Amino acid sequence: MTPLLEVKNLRVEFPTRRGTLVAVDDVSFHIDEGEVLGVVGESGAGKSITGVSIIRLIEPPGRIAGGEVHLRGRRIDNIPLEEMRHIRGKEIGAIFQDPLTTLNPLYTIGHQLAETMQTHLGIGDKEARARAIRWLEDVGIPGAAQRIDAYPHQFSGGMRQRVVIALALCAEPRLVIADEPTTALDVSIQAQVIALLKRLCCEHGTAIMLVTHDMGVIAETADRVAVMYAGRIAEIGPVREVVKHARHPYTDGLMGSIPSLLHKVERLTQIEGSMPRLTDIPRGCAFNPRCPKVFERCRVERPDLMPTDGPNLASCWLHAPAGADREVGHAA
C-alpha cells in the first residue's frame, strides 16, 4: 500500500560564511492515510526545517540538496513552483506556531477562508461563505456567523489558532503539517486544540505531521513518533513503544527527563552537554560526545536507522547485529 507521504534521504543545506550548514541530513520516513506522525527533538534538531522542506517553503539561501518527497506516489520536490502552489492548501495544509504569520491582518477571517476554498475547490461566493461559517463552528469559534467578518486582531491567541486550523483544513487536504501548533497557547487551550485536531483527523481522514518539542502533546496525539537529533532521525516507532521502551540513548534520556505522576524518583535524568552546532557535527554518531553508552565504533562510523528488538528503528550501534564484541566506555 502506497504511503500518503514518503520522504527519502532528504538533505537540506544552508550556505554560511563558516561553511555549509546541514540542517536535515539523510532523513527518511513515511506517513499513512489518517495517521498522526509526531516529530520531536530539541531546538535546532531540524524538525521544523523538515516540515517546511516538504511544502517547499525554505527561506533562501536554504535549499533541498538531496533526496525525494513523494505525495500519493508522485514526486513533488522537483515540480515547478507554480504547480507546488496548487498542492499547498489543496493537498497539503499547514499550521504554523504563530497564527499572525499565517493570517493576513488586512482581510477578514471570512474573506481568507472563502478565498482559500474558492481557489482550491472552485466554488461560488455564497457556498464559500456558508462553508466558512461551518468550518469556524467546527473549530469551536462561538457565534461564527457573526464573527466571520471580524479581522484577525479581534480574536484572542487561542481563537486565532483555531482559525488557522480551519484555514489549513477548509480545502480538505489529505495531509496537514502542524509546526508547534500549541506552543504559544496556555495549557487549557492546548488541550482543546489537541482534541480538535484528533477529532478532525477522525472525521475527515486527514493525516498530520505534528512537529513539537513537547512529548506530552506527542503522547496524547500521535500514532508514531520520530525523534530527531542534529538533523537526523535518532529513533522512530509507535508512540507507546518509544515512550515506554526507548531504544536510542538520546530518546531514553529525553523520556527520563519528563516527570511522572506514577513513579516517584529522587532525580530526573539529565543529558550532559548540548547539541552540537550543525556546522560542527562530530565524526561518527552525532550523539557520541553526550552518550553514556558510547564505544569506539560510535566515534568513527555514523549509524543509519536499523531494526531493534522491538518495532522501533534506531540509529544506534547498540543494535548492530555484529555488536556483541563492543566495549562500552565513556565519551572522550
Range picked from 29-43, 169-183, 211-225 for highest mean pLDDT:
29-43
pLDDT tens-digit series, residues 155-166: 988 889 889 989
- Rounded Cα–Cα distance for residues 214 and 230 (Å): 17
273 falls in which pLDDT band (50, 70, 90)?
A: confident
What pLDDT does 329 receive?
A: 44
- How many Cα atoms are found within 13 Å in the side-chain-facing hemisphere of 214? 16
Say if residue 322's pLDDT is above 90: no
Element (H, E) at 294: none
pLDDT at position 184 is 65
**How many whole angstroms separate alpha carbon 241 and alpha carbon 80?**
40
pLDDT at 262: 65
User: What cell does 113 get?
Assistant: 477562508
The mean pLDDT of the chain is 88
Percent of the chain whose predicted confidence (pLDDT) is above 90: 58
Residue 1, pLDDT > 60, answer yes
For residue 327, pLDDT over 60 is answered with no
Q: In whole angstroms, what is the distance from residue 189 CA to residue 159 CA?
A: 9
For cell 488557522, the residue is 164
Q: Give the confidence band of 226 by pLDDT, cuts at 50, 70, 90.
A: very high
- Range from 165-169, 212-216, 264-268 carrying the lowest mean pLDDT: 264-268
Which pLDDT belongs to residue 324?
Answer: 43
Tell me: pLDDT of 269 over 50.
yes
Lowest mean pLDDT among 94-98, 149-153, 285-289, 314-318: 94-98
Cα 137–chain centre separation: 26
Residues 182-194 have a mean pLDDT of 75
pLDDT average, residue stretch 179-196: 78
Percentage of residues in the chain having pLDDT higher than 70: 94
* HEC secondary structure over 117-185: HHHHHCCCHHHHHHHHHHHHHHCCCCCHHHHCCCCHHHCCHHHHHHHHHHHHHCCCCCEEEEECCCCCC
Distant-in-sequence contacts of 199-204, Cβ < 8 A, 24+ apart: 200/138, 200/139, 200/165, 200/169, 201/34, 201/36, 202/34, 204/169, 204/172
Per the model's pLDDT, the better-predicted residue between 196 and 39 turns out to be 39
| Cell reading at 144 | 461564527
Give me the mean pLDDT over the 69-90 stretch.
Answer: 92
Least confident of 12-21, 87-96, 185-194: 185-194
pLDDT over 70 (residue 7): yes
Mean pLDDT of 308-316: 94
User: Residue 51: its pLDDT value, please?
Assistant: 94
Query: Which residue(s) pair with 21 in the sheet?
Result: 14
pLDDT tens digits, residue range 102-136?
899 999 999 999 999 999 998 999 999 999 999 99
Per-residue DSSP letters for 229-284? ETTEEEEEEEHHHHHHS--SHHHHHHHHTS--SSS--SS-----S-PPPTTSPPSS
Section 57-69 average pLDDT? 92
Give mean pLDDT, residues 143-172.
91
Q: Which three cell numbers stand for residue 94?
A: 499547514
Cell of 20: 555549509
Least confident of 22-31, 51-60, 207-216, 251-260: 251-260
Q: Which residues pair with 237 in a beta bridge?
A: 225
3-state secondary structure (DSSP) of residue 204: helix
Overall average pLDDT of the 250-258 stretch? 84
Mean local confidence (pLDDT), 202-224: 86
Confidence category of residue 97, pLDDT binned at 50, 70, 90:
confident
